[in-house]
Structure 1
Amino acid sequence: MKTYQALARRLVQHGIDPLFGLMGDANMQFIASYIDEQGGRYIGSSHEAGAVGMADGFARASGSVGVATVTHGPGTTNTLTALTEAVRADTALVLLTSSTPSANPNHIQNIDLRRLIEPSGAAFRRPLRAQDVPDELAQALAQARAEARPVVLDIPVEFHDVEIEDTIASPGEIPEAPPTDLDPDLLDAALGMIASARRPLVVAGRGAVESDAHDAITAFADLIGAAVATTVPARGFFAGHELDLGICGNLAHPVALTAILDSDCVIVFGASLTTYTTDAGALLSDKPVVHIDRAADHLNRYHQADVALCGDAAAVATAMTQLLVSENIEFASNRAGLAEKLRNRVPSDEFVDATTEGAVDMRAAMLRLATRLPSNRAIVTDAGRFLRSVWRYVDVPHPRYSAVTHNFGSIGLGIGCATGVSVAAPDLVTFVFVGDGGGMMSLTEFNTAVRYRLPLVAVVINDGSYGAEYSKLQGFNADPRHSLMEWPEFADLGIALGGNAVSVRSLEEIDKLDESTWAPENLPLLVEIKVDPSVDYYA
């Protein structure tokens, strides 16, 4: 068979379903073969960044490797921001692309792909022969999974029509990384710190989600009497736990912040302890920190832990629990009263509602909206000033179905990512929260959700400005009106792109949303919420 046919065949054999992409000269043949000859499911995006974002979201929600394909030249350059986001989110993803014909160095779309890709942090692979393409695909998938990062596979375009032998009926399973043996001295030191703690705190990050470590970590936390919290990417990990503080970091609510500061030992599973999680280190000051992560380069990257253990979150939590139980250690945690404070917390008391006629306070809007959302939901957030309100007041039922496209600080990636999440979780309603600026960058992918009839709701929080810049210009004593933008009505755009739309300008209009709003026949749906740009939402 020809190389493009072998490539399509191997994708299906490796269980790649669906394939995300945008068609061009360098990939149209194998996409057609994947669909027509192999029966594969293809989701076509409207922009290459969207294709990578979809593969990213799919991988995060499914736990499998996401695969996208784009054409050479500008097709690949258009992916760089979304690709860098996926790198920094530790997403297992393979991007299939192609270099232009080597016989034509003056090809209009020629660019050095290796030098383009490697600064993003993604791995780069290129087969030397057409015959090597099927095995290179298998190795790219294995590398993406083992290293938890994107791999770009450049298949030179002249290879596609070459006849090759591809006789392997099934490629078999991609091997898992071998388990890491725990250092007994470090483990003993960690347990000593934990056993002496009176106000311990357990923090779970995305690594804990990927390790399916909920039961193991919760059992460990309950044994030692710890309060529990998460990083933003692991929101929902401890949903329903009576000592769940929510987000650990500079977004913590007042009750949680007091408990975090009062803790006397912090045990971290699967989080890299960024400056946001630690509030630039202030939340971990003067207290011992035990840091567990299976990725060695995550340990001590941002914060120097007292004990750093390289290992799987579930395995380490289980080992710690067993050792502590075997030693018959009695824990004297004094978290009494914290559960009651959490139950009695009134989020609306944490801010002054600035709702006016024609524009709602986004914090009040998120509190109201959270009560109207279906329980079977996924939550995706783009980047922007609205994040604080969404992350604080809109809960995530399960961390697997939560995605944050803020790892590179770019706006405009949320809707693409949410489309991939929706494909991975078709039984859920995927809500993506996006600002007006990010929305204008990426609403074309709302049409992708329309074309594939996905259960997706895009919530556009419209303050008529680049909101973060509005606030920062005020801080610089500059005129914030320079950040104002005049957009079309987003509800009109949603309808023009083939979906349904609702425009919200009052809290009472949010109260009118009910189960029928999210009914399958109404989706995809765009909900525009008008807010006032002049309100200090960082207060």
Structure 2
Amino acid sequence: MADLLVAYLAQIGVEYVFGIPGGAIEPLYNALARSSRAGGVRHILARHESGAAFMADGYARESGKIGVCCATSGPGATNLITGVACAYDNDIPLLVITGQPALPAFGKLPLQESACTGVNVLGMFQHCTRYNSLVSHPKQLESKLVAAMQCATRAPRGPVHLSIPVDVFRSPSQTLVPSYDLRALLAPSSLVDDEALASLCTMLSESRKTVLIIGGWCCEAIDPILQFAQLKGATFVTTPDGKGLVNPYHPLFRGVFGFGGHASAEAALCDEDVDLVLAIGVSMGEWNSGGWSGSLLNERLVHIDESEDNLALTPMARFHIRGRILSIFNRLIEGMHDGGPGCTRPLERTSPRLVLPAWRPDAMLAAPEKYESDATPIKPQRLMRELGRLFPPETRFLADTGNSVSWATHYLHPADRRISERRIGGGERKRGAGRRKAGGGWLRVTMNFASMGWAIGGAIGTAVANPDAPVVCITGDGSVLMNGQEISVAVAEKQTVIFVVLNDQALGMVKHGQRMAKAEQIGCDMPPTDFAALARALGAPAHTIRSPEDLAALDIDALCKRKGPTLLDVLIDPDEVPPMNVRMRVLLNQH
């Protein structure tokens, strides 16, 4: 049965399974070994099971496929839970496979039993998966696998879990050829509510000034969304998890709304002339709604999303439209070009590109003088400037939970990103496979559950999925001390990942949050750690960075071409307070 499971993964183009072996899951590893020898699906060994889940998360975001991770029973399975919960709260599709002792041993205290008669791992996963089941008979495997995969890839997306006893895994299969075509079964639906779309077109035609909020689930549709913004002449802001989908130098961009965001984005939404706000692919959690800001949650709001769960969080909105975002915006653009029902042509154009004044993100920064500072130790603001300037346009950046995500969200602005798509014959939708992958974007962050160390494993999964693009992991010293052992995986797999460690000898967000809240300073300071030496001990070259001059001296081109990871131990100014006012506003109001 294990070979059949691997055959299904191969059928949908999954190339890697991330995990750690053990006795209860040995048959799956035997099948992966056979697959690897034949040039098929292969295994990547994590150093901790949570790291395996984070790697599968990063792989899913970059490849647009489902991420797969596995672990043995008992502690192997429980170690996965943090990474799985993180994926659940961020709608990342994962297939999670855990082992179990043989069925006849249930209830007899076998080693690492995690069934209902032991430490009930299945019950634990119930609260952080979209589908969760014990495969108690070989004939259940195919039907439960198909059901799980459909739940993983249909909105709301997320992880699914199958717990498979070792004797079921070892059971012979009548065939190694899948009975079902998963590719067809998992193909996205393009259904659109025509009546709702006509109502939206009417609202757009009557709107004097429209602003878009682009969320993290707009990736598949980002090109037509930007094309729509140009045709409509609508400015747009993004959520923190949507920032990586757009060019920060786009003339219509007004910054990030939410955690680590910009006053310019808040101003764009609070503009009294704005009578329509389209929130697109936005989950409306604390970090990507400005702490449930009143400037967003009001009667001007139209919420567009594929997930009914997300739409349920905006009962105050003027209008909801549910459907595949790509299909909705393809139809909107066609209507604007063709003058379809309820749609007018908002802009008369003489060329396919909208000509607007240049927009510089520097203008919206909270501390532009620190963005240019030559001070030592290096200002984190200046570090973000240099990272955006030095690395090539195809670089993927992952910002870890903590100060890393706030600094990156506010100050990281790589240039030379595309503005929108070219369309054939005006309104006709773009043909071919040129759209971005379903989980793409130049910046990846994690919202909601926000696990420290997510970016370390996620960066490795990203590099595995796309070995042609450099990957930069922006992480903190606290996260490295939790999950830095996964750097060893990048060494073993020869993945081009540059780990940038913000070393301020503290749990920075905790330290600054305590100061801003006038709370006790406790549990946040850490002793000096030489992360460059730690990386070398794991087999990765490393550099200690104290100043902008140290950064300038690096051969970035060589780092990006090297088949293997590099670590930059960056000693940042520990007194610089990250842009985290949204978080503090919510915390201080919870009393």
Same fold (TM over 0.5): yes
Cα distance in 1 for partners of 2:520, 2:270 equals: 37
Cα distance in 1 for partners of 2:362, 2:16 equals: 45
Of 49-58 and 314-323, more deviation after overlay is shown by 314-323
**Distance change >3 Å, CA 23–CA 278, structure 1 → 2:** same
Aligned residue pairs total: 532
Offset of residue 413 of structure 1:
1.6
Cα distance in 2 for partners of 1:72, 1:343 equals: 49
Report what 1:266 is aligned to.
277
Report what 1:477 is aligned to.
518
Cα distance in 2 for partners of 1:420, 1:283 equals: 37
**Distance change >3 Å, CA 134–CA 315, structure 1 → 2:** closer
Whether 2:433 is the aligned partner of 1:395: answer: no
**Distance change >3 Å, CA 521–CA 179, structure 1 → 2:** closer
1:447-498 CA-partner distances (Å, limit 9, x unpaired)? 1001000011111101101111111222343453641101430000111111
Q: Secondary structure at the match of 1:201?
A: strand
Report what 2:209 is aligned to.
199
Cα distance in 2 for partners of 1:87, 1:461 equals: 27
Report what 1:366 is aligned to.
384
Partner amino acid, structure 2, of 1:460 = V
Whether 2:579 is the aligned partner of 1:529: answer: no
In the alignment, is the contact (CA less than 8 A) between 1:266 and 1:288 conserved in 2? yes
Partner amino acid, structure 2, of 1:207 = W
Report what 1:77 is aligned to.
78
**Distance change >3 Å, CA 477–CA 292, structure 1 → 2:** closer
In the alignment, is the contact (CA less than 8 A) between 2:240 and 2:260 conserved in 1? no
1:69-102 CA-partner distances (Å, limit 9, x unpaired)? 1101100100111101111111111011122333
Cα distance in 1 for partners of 2:385, 2:260 equals: 16
Offset of residue 135 of structure 1:
4.2
In the alignment, is the contact (CA less than 8 A) between 2:224 and 2:329 conserved in 1? yes
Report what 1:162 is aligned to.
171
Note the 1:73-222 alignment, pairs <5 A: 73-104=74-105, 105=107, 106-110=109-113, 111-147=119-155, 148-166=157-175, 168=177, 171-172=180-181, 173-175=183-185, 176-182=187-193, 184=195, 186-209=196-219, 212-222=220-230
Offset of residue 245 of structure 1:
2.2
Report what 2:3 is aligned to.
5
Offset of residue 410 of structure 1:
2.1
TM-score, length-scaled by structure 2: 0.83
Of 199-208 and 18-27, more deviation after overlay is shown by 199-208
Note the 1:388-467 alignment, pairs <5 A: 388-395=406-413, 397=417, 399-467=440-508
Structure 1 counterpart of 2:319, from 307, 320, 337: 307
**Distance change >3 Å, CA 482–CA 164, structure 1 → 2:** closer
Whether 2:358 is the aligned partner of 1:319: answer: no
Report what 1:380 is aligned to.
398
Cα distance in 2 for partners of 1:354, 1:521 equals: 29
Offset of residue 287 of structure 1:
5.6
Report what 2:43 is aligned to.
42
**Distance change >3 Å, CA 114–CA 80, structure 1 → 2:** same
Q: Secondary structure at the match of 2:327?
A: helix
**Distance change >3 Å, CA 438–CA 354, structure 1 → 2:** farther
Whether 2:57 is the aligned partner of 1:16: answer: no
Whether 2:344 is the aligned partner of 1:329: answer: yes
Q: Secondary structure at the match of 2:87?
A: helix
**Distance change >3 Å, CA 284–CA 11, structure 1 → 2:** closer
Cα distance in 1 for partners of 2:254, 2:483 equals: 33
Partner amino acid, structure 2, of 1:392 = H
Offset of residue 296 of structure 1:
1.5
1:198-230 CA-partner distances (Å, limit 9, x unpaired)? 331122222221xx2123212221221101222
Q: Secondary structure at the match of 1:68?
A: strand
**Distance change >3 Å, CA 117–CA 241, structure 1 → 2:** same
In the alignment, is the contact (CA less than 8 A) between 1:198 and 1:332 conserved in 2? no
What is the Cα-based RMSD across aligned positions, in Å? 2.8
Q: Secondary structure at the match of 1:459?
A: strand
**Distance change >3 Å, CA 331–CA 74, structure 1 → 2:** same
In the alignment, is the contact (CA less than 8 A) between 1:381 and 1:432 conserved in 2? yes
Cα distance in 1 for partners of 2:325, 2:578 equals: 35
Offset of residue 530 of structure 1:
0.9
**Distance change >3 Å, CA 348–CA 306, structure 1 → 2:** closer
Report what 1:30 is aligned to.
28
Offset of residue 365 of structure 1:
1.7
Cα distance in 1 for partners of 2:540, 2:510 equals: 30
Report what 2:428 is aligned to.
none
Partner amino acid, structure 2, of 1:97 = T
Structure 2 counterpart of 1:227, from 225, 235, 245: 235
Cα distance in 2 for partners of 1:62, 1:420 equals: 9
In the alignment, is the contact (CA less than 8 A) between 1:255 and 1:341 conserved in 2? no
Of 143-152 and 428-437, more deviation after overlay is shown by 143-152
Q: Secondary structure at the match of 1:151?
A: strand
Report what 1:252 is aligned to.
261
Partner amino acid, structure 1, of 2:344 = I
Offset of residue 42 of structure 1:
1.4
Offset of residue 340 of structure 1:
4.5
In the alignment, is the contact (CA less than 8 A) between 1:98 and 1:156 conserved in 2? yes
In the alignment, is the contact (CA less than 8 A) between 2:478 and 2:507 conserved in 1? yes
Offset of residue 310 of structure 1:
0.6
Report what 1:277 is aligned to.
288
Gaps of 5+ in 1: none
Q: Secondary structure at the match of 1:57?
A: helix
Offset of residue 386 of structure 1:
2.8
In the alignment, is the contact (CA less than 8 A) between 2:298 and 2:316 conserved in 1? no
In the alignment, is the contact (CA less than 8 A) between 1:228 and 1:238 conserved in 2? no
Offset of residue 241 of structure 1:
2.9
Offset of residue 65 of structure 1:
1.0
Report what 1:55 is aligned to.
56
Partner amino acid, structure 2, of 1:494 = A
Cα distance in 2 for partners of 1:34, 1:156 equals: 17
Partner amino acid, structure 1, of 2:241 = P
Cα distance in 1 for partners of 2:556, 2:3 equals: 46
In the alignment, is the contact (CA less than 8 A) between 1:134 and 1:166 conserved in 2? no
**Distance change >3 Å, CA 213–CA 506, structure 1 → 2:** same
Cα distance in 2 for partners of 1:519, 1:217 equals: 31
